[in-house]
């Protein structure tokens, strides 16, 4: 896009914005903020499925062990509450 086209587009946008009322301008500002957010979000790389599967496999046994330990403690607590 040439500089002349860019300036023309910017001028057209400014002229169009001047015709909007305050409520419409607020909506446009919110949309522009969304566009900036979406652009930043696209720059964040998403994790690969294989790396997530590897992490899951690494911690699966530890998670099971912690869950089993937690269940025993929970059962003991329930028995103590039943005696009250």
- Per-residue pLDDT tens over the stretch 31-51: 999 999 988 887 777 777 777
| Global pTM exceeds 0.85 | no
Provide the 8-state DSSP code for 84: -
pLDDT computed for residue 25 by the predictor: 95
Sequence ranges of the domains in the chain = 21-83
Residue 67 near residue 59, CB atoms below 8 Å: no
Please tell me the distance from the alpha carbon of residue 52 to that of residue 45, in angstroms, as a whole number: 13
Number of C-beta neighbours around residue 45 at 10 A: 6
């Amino acid at each position: 896009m040439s500089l002349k086209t860019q300036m023309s587009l910017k001028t057209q946008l400014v002229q169009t914005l001047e015709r909007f009322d305050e409520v419409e301008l607020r909506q446009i500002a919110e949309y522009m903020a969304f566009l900036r957010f979406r652009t930043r979000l696209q720059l964040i790389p998403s994790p690969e499925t294989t790396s997530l599967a590897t992490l899951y496999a690494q911690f699966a046994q530890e998670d099971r062990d912690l869950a089993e330990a937690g269940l025993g403690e929970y059962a003991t607590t329930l028995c103590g509450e039943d005696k009250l």
